[in-house]
Structure 1
Amino acid sequence: MLEIKALDLEVDGRPVLKDLNLTIKEGESHVLLGPNGSGKTSLLLGILGFPKYKVTGGSIIFKGEDITGLSTAERVKLGMGIAFQHPPVIRGIKLGEMVDLCKGDTSQQITQQTRTLAKKLHFSDEFLERDVNAGFSGGEIKRSEIMQLMAQDPDFVMLDEPDSGVDIENMELIGDMIGELLDRRIRPSKRTASGLIITHLATITNYIEVDWAHVMLNGMIACSGNPNRIISDIMKGGYGKCVRECQTTMDRI
């Protein structure tokens, strides 16, 4: 599904990713951990082709096609989608209209399909009439982002800290919906959607199963492996211990 080869990325002339390699196969979901400033969000925005994030080396392959030079809009059309950690308030556009736009409906009439989807995310019809993210709570923002992704139904889903600032009740619902987005409720051989999830505390992994975990340090993926082991090592001894344990394991192979 996605293959990143020796990727170098810079923002405003400052290097943020260095020789980064990552492969996510069709049907796989990966989680990305690391301290603040390690380059996690930059990786997502680089994958999606935000103009500020300039590729200075390497390539991004999606569905077998080199998309390194494609625009963000072209990448979205190919099947990429993202839920931001801090999405902006959008005045003048109702949440229901935004969800319809994500489905490709430009009629500016909130459809019954959108109202049905909203109920799954515990949004009322009245809530759909509100401007996007205007006065939303943390949990409402996260559910709004997930609802827009579900309307878009991308093949490759990127989620930037979907578990930050979310209470337990909202987290369970968000976990269920992400699981649906990523085909985690069906047999592995039948899954087609893939995903990359950024998380600090790995709370999201209590609600959805992931296949691989990666640790990012200083703009590079320093460690990859079994999610349970990597998360356990981080909780016990921090990122440094996790990376040392990972390197020791690789030396034994």
Structure 2
Amino acid sequence: MSDNILKIRDLDVFAGETQVLRDVDLTIHPGEVHILLGPNGSGKSSLLQAIMGVPPFRVTKGDIRLNGRSICDLTPDQRAALGFGMAYQKPPEIDGVTLTALAHVMRADATFATEAAALDMADFAQREVNVGFSGGEIKRWEVLKLFLQNPQFLLFDEPESGVDLEHIAAVGAAIERLARSRTANGAKRAALVITHTGFILDYVKADTAHMMVDGRIIATGDPKEMFEQVKSNGYHAA
């Protein structure tokens, strides 16, 4: 068994003919939560999509490994089955499928009842997935969905973006609770969280922060110190 959950080495990624990531190195160990900061268009979401194997993002150099296994040749559903789960920024609407129906298929009825209440989504039980949801409601559902999926490695794409102040605390607390818990088979989880506003840092006790600019990780350090630097100096290496 590898001593890290996620290991990315020397990674180049293209979307179509455009290179979006260059020479990315990243290692996340069991029990760790990492934050990814960067300006709009810097490649943060592209990195998460590449980890999940979502088209049109394709790896042209380097490797992505989960628990020591290369996953670059796997489809998104195969990666999910191995232990990846992602809270997307703009997930699709699923007409005809209610939240409770999806929870039942995932054999997570009890988890849905508990976590839906914590995320103020109990009244959404019979709503169709993402149909008519506001931006903030989509983000809360995406976090709840990961509780149902029970993955080992968690990916969050700006989970606080569009969430009203009343619910940011609930979203942050849910992410922290899930990331610090163990999977059904007792394995420690780990997480990578993209944040633009930094609000999530008030509720998620991140271990490490990375700054991405122009498709490269240019700095790594303490999360709150790095975010204070960003607020003062913008997105430049320390």
TM-score (norm 2): 0.91
**How do 1:168-179 residues align onto structure 2 when only pairs under 5 Å count?**
168-179=165-176
Alignment partner of 1:75 is 2:79:
yes
Please tell me whether the aligned partners of residues 32 and 190 of structure 2 are also in contact (alpha carbons under 8 angstroms): yes
Look up the SS of the partner of 1:129 in the other structure. Answer: coil
Look up the SS of the partner of 1:170 in the other structure. Answer: helix
Deviates more, 1:154-163 or 1:64-73: 64-73
Deviations 1:166-207 (A, max 9, x none): 1121001111110111017x9xxx981100000111110011
The alignment yields a C-alpha RMSD, in angstroms, of: 1.8
**How do 1:83-102 residues align onto structure 2 when only pairs under 5 Å count?**
83-101=87-105
Give the AA of the match of 2:149: Q
Question: Match for residue 250 of structure 1?
Answer: none
Please tell me whether the aligned partners of residues 136 and 162 of structure 2 are also in contact (alpha carbons under 8 angstroms): yes
Alignment partner of 1:6 is 2:4:
no
Question: Match for residue 157 of structure 2?
Answer: 160
TM-score (norm 1): 0.86
CA distance in 2, matches of 1:35, 1:65: 31
Look up the SS of the partner of 1:148 in the other structure. Answer: helix
Alignment gaps of 5+ in structure 1: 106-110, 246-253
CA distance in 2, matches of 1:113, 1:39: 33
Question: Match for residue 217 of structure 1?
Answer: 213
CA distance in 2, matches of 1:207, 1:120: 14
Alignment partner of 1:133 is 2:137:
no
**How do 1:223-238 residues align onto structure 2 when only pairs under 5 Å count?**
223-238=219-234
CA distance in 1, matches of 2:15, 2:107: 31
Deviation at 1:100, TM superposition (A): 3.0
Rg larger for: 1
Alignment partner of 1:25 is 2:32:
no
Alignment gaps of 5+ in structure 2: none
Deviations 1:20-41 (A, max 9, x none): 1111111110000111111000
CA distance in 1, matches of 2:56, 2:107: 26
The 1:229/1:117 distance shift into structure 2, 3 A limit, reads closer
Q: When the two structures are aligned, how many residues end up with a matched partner?
A: 231
Deviation at 1:118, TM superposition (A): 2.0
Deviates more, 1:150-159 or 1:83-92: 83-92
